[in-house]
Amino acid sequence: MAVNLSTPNPADLRPVTGVRLGVAEAGIRKANRRDLTLIELAPGSRVAGVFTRNRFCAAPVQVCREHLAEGDIRALVINTGVANAGTGEQGVVDALQTCAAVGRLLGVGAQQVLPFSTGVILEPLPVERLIAALPAAQANLRGDGWFDAAHAIMTTDTVAKAVSRTVEVGGKTVTITGIGKGAGMIKPNMATMLGFVACDAALSQDLLNALVREAADLSFNSITVDGDTSTNDSFILIATGKAGHAEIAEPVGADWAALREAVIDVAVRLAQAIVRDGEGATKFMSIVVQGGTDREECRKVAYAVAHSPLVKTAFFASDPNLGRILAAIGYAGIDDLDVSRLKVWLGNPDESVLVAEHGGRAASYREEAGARIMAQSELTVRIDLARGQAAATVWTCDFSYDYVKINADYRS
C-alpha cells in the first residue's frame, strides 16, 4: 500500500556502461527468495560512500569504510535476511570472508569488494550459504540486471525502488541508474536503508566524494519514517568513467552542474520512494521549514514535526489537528523561538491554506479547508519561522495501524 509508488518498468532502467548485476537465492534466512546481489564494476571505476553514524555500526559497514579508503573497488555484494550487526569480531570475520570469496570468483582482491547486509540484527551471518550462492549470482551478471537487483535487496519493502536518468555531459550521454531499499528504521544519518547509484560519467575521486555527501544530505538524510537510525545504512555512488567524455575534476561549468543535478535528483527520488513505501504509510508528507537562521535549525523543526507520533497519527486519520504540529514546533529545541511570529500553512498539490499565525489558529482558517487538504495522499506542511533566510525540507509518512503490525511481526 505504498503511497503513489509503483514498481518501475524494467525498460525504464537503463544499463550503466561498466556495471553488471546478478542475483541469487542463498537461503540466508528464508528459502526460495532472491536474497543475494552481486554488482561487478569495470576496471577504473571510482566509488564513494556515506554510512550510518550509529555507534553500533554493522560489521559490513566497518569493512566498507576500510576497503573504500584503499580505493580501486571492483565489486559490491549485498545480502538481505541478516544484517550482520551486533555480531562482534565474528561479524567482521564473516564480512571479510564474504569479500574474499567474491574476490576469488571475480579475480580481484578481497579489499576491492564492498559488503552490505540488511535484515535482523544480532544474528550471525550464515556465511557458508552466502558463499555457496555466489557462483549463481555471478552466472547471471548482466548490464540490465538493475530491475532484479532492486527486488533482491528488498526486506519489508513492498515495492522495488529504482530510478534512471540520462544527462548530456561533454557531448556524451551519461546514464545514472540507482536502486534503494527501506522501509522502517528510516531517519537522518541513513536509515536501514541501502542506496546504490551508478553513473558512467568520468569524475575525479575528490568530486565524487563531495557529491556523495551532498546528495546524501539532500536525499537519504532528509527523510524519516520512524526516527530510528539503523546500524547498516549505506549510500554508495559509483562513476565508471565509461561514457567517453573528458573527466570532470572541478566543481564548475555546465557539465558539472547538469551531472550534479541529475545525481541528486536520482538520490532524492530513491529517498522519497523509501518514504512512500514506509512501513504502513498511507500519506506522503513534505515538511518545508523556511525563514530560519540556519539550515540546522530548520532541520530540527522539520524533524520534530516529522517524528511526532501524534502528528503522524493525526495525518493517518486525515485529522487537521494543527495543535499537534504547533506543539512539535514548540519543543523542537529553539529556545528563543518567537511563536507569535511564525506562520504555518497546510497544502497539497492543489491548494495551500494558512492555518496558524500570531501564536494561534489563523482567523481566516476554516476546518473544512484543512479537512479537504488532509483527505489527499500528498501533503505539505510549510512553516515560516520568520527569523532568517535558511530553509530545509524533510519527507516523511504517516503512522498507521500497519506500522505497528509490521514491526510487531517482523521476526515471526
Residues in contact with a copy of itself by the rule CB under 8 A: 53-57, 83, 85-91, 120-123, 184-185, 187, 189, 226-231, 307-310, 313-314, 316-317, 319, 321-324, 326-332, 334-335, 337, 339-340, 356, 358-361, 399-401, 403-405, 407-412
For the bound state, the minimum distance from the C-beta of residue 91 to a copy of itself, rounded and expressed in Å, comes to 7
For the bound state, the minimum distance from the C-beta of residue 2 to a copy of itself, rounded and expressed in Å, comes to 19
- Cross-strand pairs, 39: 21, 76
CA atoms within 13 A on the CB side of 156: 27
Is 382 within 8 Å of 344 (Cβ atoms)? yes
For the bound state, the minimum distance from the C-beta of residue 119 to a copy of itself, rounded and expressed in Å, comes to 10
For the bound state, the minimum distance from the C-beta of residue 345 to a copy of itself, rounded and expressed in Å, comes to 15
Q: Which is nearer to a copy of itself, 288 or 332 (CB)?
A: 332
Q: Which is nearer to a copy of itself, 146 or 399 (CB)?
A: 399
The neighbour count for residue 253, using CB atoms within 10 Å, is: 12
Among residues 192, 229, 282, 393, which one is catalytic? Answer: 192
Distance CA 55, CA 59 (A): 11
For the bound state, the minimum distance from the C-beta of residue 176 to a copy of itself, rounded and expressed in Å, comes to 30
For the bound state, the minimum distance from the C-beta of residue 335 to a copy of itself, rounded and expressed in Å, comes to 8
Q: Which is nearer to a copy of itself, 166 or 189 (CB)?
A: 189
Measured CA angle at 221 (ends 355, 391), to 5 deg? 40
Q: Which is nearer to a copy of itself, 211 or 311 (CB)?
A: 311
175 annotated active-site? no
- Cross-strand pairs, 198: 177, 238
For the bound state, the minimum distance from the C-beta of residue 307 to a copy of itself, rounded and expressed in Å, comes to 7
For the bound state, the minimum distance from the C-beta of residue 392 to a copy of itself, rounded and expressed in Å, comes to 18
Three-state DSSP at 402 gives helix
Residue 354, CA distances (Å) to 85, 131, 313, 364, 375 in order: 46, 58, 21, 8, 17
Residue showing cell 561479524: 91
Q: Which is nearer to a copy of itself, 231 or 240 (CB)?
A: 231
Q: Which is nearer to a copy of itself, 290 or 313 (CB)?
A: 313
Distance CA 186, CA 280 (A): 13
Q: Which is nearer to a copy of itself, 256 or 403 (CB)?
A: 403
What dihedral do alpha carbons 269, 270, 274, 275 form, nearest 10°?
Answer: -20
| φ, ψ dihedrals at 97, nearest 5° | -65, -40
Q: Which is nearer to a copy of itself, 266 or 326 (CB)?
A: 326
Sign of CA dihedral 149, 152, 155, 161: positive
Is 87 within 8 Å of 125 (Cβ atoms)? yes
Is 190 within 8 Å of 246 (Cβ atoms)? no
Helix (H) / strand (E) containing 36:
strand 36-41
Distance CA 289, CA 174 (A): 34
Instruction: Provide the CA 30 distance to its chain's centre, in angstroms.
Output: 25
Residue showing cell 505539505: 380
Distance CA 127, CA 82 (A): 10
Q: What single letter denotes the amino acid at residue 65?
A: R
Three-state DSSP at 278 gives coil
Distance CA 108, CA 101 (A): 10
Catalytic residue positions, numbered? 192
